[in-house]
């Protein structure tokens, strides 16, 4: 049974907190509201706080810097874990199959499909000249990519994984990632790095790409704006973002810390 979070619900005892970006802590302008930012920064003074997102390294790094987070952060749907305190920030990385990335770039470029990609933290787009082979993720608008007749072999390939996600403005994305990589797999590495147990970790999200993350922690919270599949696997639920559901969940954590 999924439990609704309210001011009467006892707070969990946790040792780390994980947050999705889109639909969870970002508003429609892709900003983190001050009332959310202040609460996350307060929590980060007591326990590790990490962003876990399908967005690329540069985006996750930007938001984690704004929040002044010091713990390892997870980007590219789990293909990269980076430590903002280390000079060589990337501490875990997985690449896509080289032949597949070359073929995907060729198809997308020849059809003038806009996309964003990442290689060890370097941002790559349709206009980039140097498309290195060490690719962590390739993401396109789902509406663009499904127009392509010759994209089906890649979607059905056993060499890469396909991840569907939703942006802060409800746009749908399709991402190509290394085979077998997802947020949940990355959290297994994250637990080793910080010597944590699943039962000690809180996570909150709303998207299909959050499911593996939410399954891999002890305290899983679905936003009120989540997909139905997310509600089914979480043990707690809060209100929608617009109904201050994120703030309700954050205050729940803070009561336990205080």
pLDDT over 90 percentage in the chain = 72
Give every CB contact of residue 130 below 8 A, 6+ residues apart in sequence: none
Could you give the 3-state DSSP secondary structure of residue 185? helix
Which long-range contacts link 156-165 to residues 24+ away (Cβ below 8 Å)?
A: 157/100, 159/96, 159/97, 159/99, 159/100, 160/96, 160/97, 160/100, 163/54, 163/77, 163/208, 163/209, 164/208, 164/209, 165/22, 165/54, 165/77, 165/207, 165/208, 165/209
Residue 208, domain member (yes or no) = no
- The whole domain housing 104 covers 98-178
Q: Over the stretch 205-236, which tens digit does the pLDDT of each residue have?
A: 999 999 999 999 999 999 999 999 999 999 99
Q: pTM of this prediction?
A: 0.94
Q: Over the stretch 83-127, which tens digit does the pLDDT of each residue have?
A: 999 888 999 999 999 888 988 898 888 888 889 899 998 988 887
* Distance from C-alpha of 150 to C-alpha of 146, rounded to nearest angstrom: 10
Residue 204, domain member (yes or no) = no
Residue 215, domain member (yes or no) = no
Q: Over the stretch 11-59, which tens digit does the pLDDT of each residue have?
A: 999 999 999 999 999 999 999 999 999 999 999 999 999 999 999 999 9
Residue 78, domain member (yes or no) = no
Give every CB contact of residue 223 below 8 A, 6+ residues apart in sequence: 23, 24, 204, 205, 206, 230, 237, 238, 239, 240, 241, 245, 246
* Closest by CA position to 136, among listed 30, 191, 217, 59: 59
* Distance from C-alpha of 203 to C-alpha of 216, rounded to nearest angstrom: 9
Residue 120, domain member (yes or no) = yes
CATH label of the domain that carries residue 134: 3.30.1240
Check pLDDT > 90 for residue 68: yes
> Mean per-residue pLDDT for 162-167?
89
Residue 112, domain member (yes or no) = yes
Which residue do the tokens 């979607």 mark? Answer: 155
* Distance from C-alpha of 107 to C-alpha of 230, rounded to nearest angstrom: 32
Number of compact structural domains in the chain = 1
Residue 32, domain member (yes or no) = no
């Amino acid at each position: 049974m999924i439990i609704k979070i309210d001011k009467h619900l006892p707070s969990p005892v946790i040792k780390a907190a994980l947050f999705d970006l889109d639909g969870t802590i970002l508003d429609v302008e892709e900003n983190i509201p001050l009332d959310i930012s202040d609460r996350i920064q307060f929590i980060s003074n007591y326990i590790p706080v990490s962003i876990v997102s399908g967005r690329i390294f540069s985006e996750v790094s930007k938001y984690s810097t704004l929040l002044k987070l010091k713990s390892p952060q997870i980007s590219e749907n789990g293909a990269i874990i980076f430590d903002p305190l280390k000079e060589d920030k990337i501490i875990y990385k997985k690449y896509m199959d080289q032949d597949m990335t070359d073929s995907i770039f060729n198809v997308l470029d020849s059809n003038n499909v806009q996309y964003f990609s990442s290689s060890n933290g370097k941002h790559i787009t349709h206009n980039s000249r140097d498309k290195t082979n060490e690719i962590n993720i390739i993401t396109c608008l789902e509406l663009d990519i499904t127009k392509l007749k010759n994209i089906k072999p890649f979607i059905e390939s056993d060499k890469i994984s396909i991840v569907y996600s939703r942006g802060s403005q409800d746009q749908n994305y399709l991402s190509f990632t290394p085979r077998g990589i997802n947020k949940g797999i990355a959290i297994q590495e994250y637990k080793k790095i910080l010597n944590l147990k699943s039962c000690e970790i809180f996570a909150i999200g709303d998207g299909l790409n959050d499911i593996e993350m939410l399954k891999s922690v002890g305290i899983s919270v679905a936003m009120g704006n989540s997909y139905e599949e997310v509600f089914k696997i979480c043990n707690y639920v809060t209100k929608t973002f617009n109904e201050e559901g994120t703030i309700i969940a954050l205050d729940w954590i803070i009561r336990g810390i205080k």
